[in-house]
């Protein structure tokens, strides 16, 4: 399976489906934590970013070391 950046537009569109679940996961996480009474050190924005990272892993969205070096001019 190709990584996200190398796919056609149709395949990219299909992989974007993982983003649709993020708001539902986020709401479910906070509802569940309220009922359990758990107080987390993580705020809502941090949890949101974790869910985005999880979705991008499922989408095979990652960068090679050459792309990172080029972007940061290392």
What's the pTM? Answer: 0.75
DSSP state of 9: H
With respect to residue 4, please indicate whether it lies within any of the assigned structural domains: no
With respect to residue 6, please indicate whether it lies within any of the assigned structural domains: no
- Which pLDDT value is given to residue 74? 62
Q: What is the pLDDT of residues 3-43, one digit of tens each?
A: 888 889 998 899 899 999 999 999 998 888 878 777 777 78
For 24-61, the DSSP string reads: HHHHHHHHHHHHHT---S--HHHHHHHHHHHHHHHTT-
With beta carbons less than 8 A apart as the criterion, state whether 19 and 55 touch: yes
Q: Which residue range is the domain that position 29 belongs to?
A: 18-72
Mean residue pLDDT across the chain: 86
Number of domains making up the chain? 1
With respect to residue 22, please indicate whether it lies within any of the assigned structural domains: yes
């Amino acid at each position: 399976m190709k990584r996200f950046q190398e796919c056609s537009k149709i395949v990219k569109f299909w992989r974007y489906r993982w983003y649709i679940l993020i708001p539902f996961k986020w709401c479910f996480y906070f509802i569940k934590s309220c009922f359990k009474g758990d107080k987390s050190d993580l705020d809502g924005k941090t949890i949101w970013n974790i869910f985005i990272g999880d979705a991008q892993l499922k989408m095979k969205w990652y960068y090679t070391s050459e792309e990172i070096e080029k972007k940061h001019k290392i």
